[in-house]
Structure 1
Amino acid sequence: MKLFFLGSAILLAASFGLPAQAQSESLEPVVDVADAINQTAKKSQLTIDSIADNMQERMQQYKQINKQIDGLRVYTRQLEKQIQNQNTEKSELSSSIDEVSVVERQITPLMLRMIDGLDAFVELDVPFLPEEREERVATLQDLMDRADVDVSEKFRRVMEAYQIEAEYGRTIEAYTGEMDVEGQVQDVDFLRIGRVALVYKTRDGASLGVWNQNAGAWQPLSDSYRNSVTEALRIARKQLAPDLLMLPLFTDSIVSATRAAGE
């Protein structure tokens, strides 16, 4: 712009004191030079504007990159904390694994003793569901020899067997089976009330028997209990609501009454 004004001033100064034609001829080069200077100045200004815009854009990019760097620093610090916590957990897990190995060596003999105890208990207990209970114990014994089953699963199965046996003591159940009655194998209905009473009734209702735990043997049951046994069987099958029943209970060889709770 300064060049433009300088050219204009020279042009005006030269225009005074010369004839019109001479002035025109003498001013043409000056005008051309001024015009060239103006074009050059215009191009320079465009270049400057482009550089300024570019610098502004670069400045915005610089600010954005700085923000990203700040975010990455915060993220990196957070990751460092997580890595530190993971290393701590790793150390704790390593210690726990070592302790688990010790526990496994101790718990395996315990489970073997528990299975042996369960086997002895089933053998000495009231003889209800004998095949099912003996098979459960045999399955546990086979399970202990398997290498493809975790110790935790073995322990779970042992505890499950104990829980099942515990449930037997507070439930009433009716199931069918075979019984040697007077030298003849017959289909009978068994009635179990907890572990305090185990009674059978033949399908025709002609024979009743009760397990005498004190004697460790079956003994005939009086016909006077037939209706009570039949009603108790229906209660156990949830065909009747629970009710008070008279059933045999052996305690020191004395026959007493017990309640069919129907739980």
Structure 2
Amino acid sequence: MDKAKVKRIAVSTAAVTSILLGAAGANAQDARLKSIVEEVNQANQIAQASQARIDKTADATSKLYTDFKTVLKTNAGLRAYNAQQRRVITKQEEEIEKIKRSIGQIDEIKRQVVPLMEDMVKDLNDFVELDIPFQIDERRERVESLRDVIDDPNVSDPERFRVILEAYKAEVQYGRSINAYEASLEDGRSVNFVRVGRVAFYYQTKDGKETATWDQSSRSWVKLDEAYGTPVKQLIRMARSQMPFDVLTLPVKAPVQKGR
């Protein structure tokens, strides 16, 4: 083989080697670039996933914060409500204590009511017995009925008081009225009685022949002169609305003062 041919072969071999080496270097760079791109893409994916997690966490945190503020507001409202309710309960407990004390006082009053009413009836009975003895049977029966009312378990205390007060009012009214009625004396004679308040009390027999006035100091009847027969008869008629009221001259005893 000649030198020229060997030289061409050598050149050709070098060229091929150069081409091969260049191609190998390019392939290596492409592989490295591809690896870098893949790493970048992977990093981007990781970053995106991380950002998504961050966003999700941020949203959750924001929701938790919002919920927390809501809970705080709710708790504040509940604390205010509970405080207000505690004040209400305290007031109610105070009212309950007042009611309990009132009930205790009512029970004490109830224990005193019956003795009080009995005293009132006794005082009224004493008053009737010591008063001018007009319509005495009717008044005694009224007092006796009061005792029955007090002893009746079916009658309430307010009703008992009402009946007793009505009896007192009736006695007061006697002192403001004029009344004539027919009744019997202790000796059994039927006569006409006439009362002027509690100022004067007379009787006159049916035939008009006997007229008397009640003397409270001696608690007895005192017969009057015949001159008073006509005025007393007229007074009886006036009390019965049988004639108009007019001025009459009649004996009137001064009222007896207590302690004399």
**Which TM bucket (shorter chain)?**
0.5 to 0.7
Q: Can you list the C-alpha shifts for 1:86-134, whole angstroms capped at 9, x where unaligned?
A: x99x968877655433322222211111111111111111010110011
Structure ID, larger Rg: 2
- Alpha-carbon deviation of 1:241? 2.1
Structure with greater helix share of residues: 2
Count of matched residue positions in the alignment of Structure 1 and Structure 2: 164
Q: Can you list the C-alpha shifts for 1:47-72, whole angstroms capped at 9, x where unaligned?
A: xxxxxxxxxxxxxxxxxxxxxxxxxx
The 5-angstrom pairing of residues 102-181 of structure 1 reads 102-180=108-186
The 5-angstrom pairing of residues 1-263 of structure 1 reads 99-180=105-186, 185-251=188-254
CA distance in 2, matches of 1:104, 1:125: 31
CA distance in 1, matches of 2:109, 2:134: 36
Q: Can you list the C-alpha shifts for 1:32-59, whole angstroms capped at 9, x where unaligned?
A: xxxxxxxxxxxxxxxxxxxxxxxxxxxx
SS of the residue aligned with 1:249? coil
| Distance change >3 Å, CA 244–CA 105, structure 1 → 2 | same
The answer (yes or no) to whether the contact 2:179–2:239 under 8 Å persists in 1 is yes
| Gaps in structure 2 of 5+ consecutive residues | 1-87
Aligned residues with identical type, % of pairs: 38
| Distance change >3 Å, CA 158–CA 251, structure 1 → 2 | same
- Alpha-carbon deviation of 1:200? 0.3
TM-score normalised by length of structure 1: 0.57
Structure with greater strand share of residues: 1
Query: Equivalent residue for 1:39?
Result: none
Q: Can you list the C-alpha shifts for 1:112-167, whole angstroms capped at 9, x where unaligned?
A: 11111111111111010110011111111121111110000001111111100011
The CA RMSD measured in Å over matched residues stands at 2.4
CA distance in 2, matches of 1:118, 1:220: 29
Give the aligned residue type for 2:253. Answer: F
| Distance change >3 Å, CA 223–CA 93, structure 1 → 2 | farther
| Distance change >3 Å, CA 252–CA 117, structure 1 → 2 | closer
TM-score normalised by length of structure 2: 0.57
The answer (yes or no) to whether the contact 2:195–2:201 under 8 Å persists in 1 is yes
CA distance in 2, matches of 1:228, 1:94: 66
Give the aligned residue type for 1:164. Answer: A
| Distance change >3 Å, CA 103–CA 252, structure 1 → 2 | closer
CA distance in 2, matches of 1:228, 1:97: 61
- Alpha-carbon deviation of 1:175? 0.5
- Alpha-carbon deviation of 1:221? 1.2
| Distance change >3 Å, CA 100–CA 239, structure 1 → 2 | farther
SS of the residue aligned with 2:188? strand
CA distance in 2, matches of 1:161, 1:174: 20
| Distance change >3 Å, CA 189–CA 99, structure 1 → 2 | same
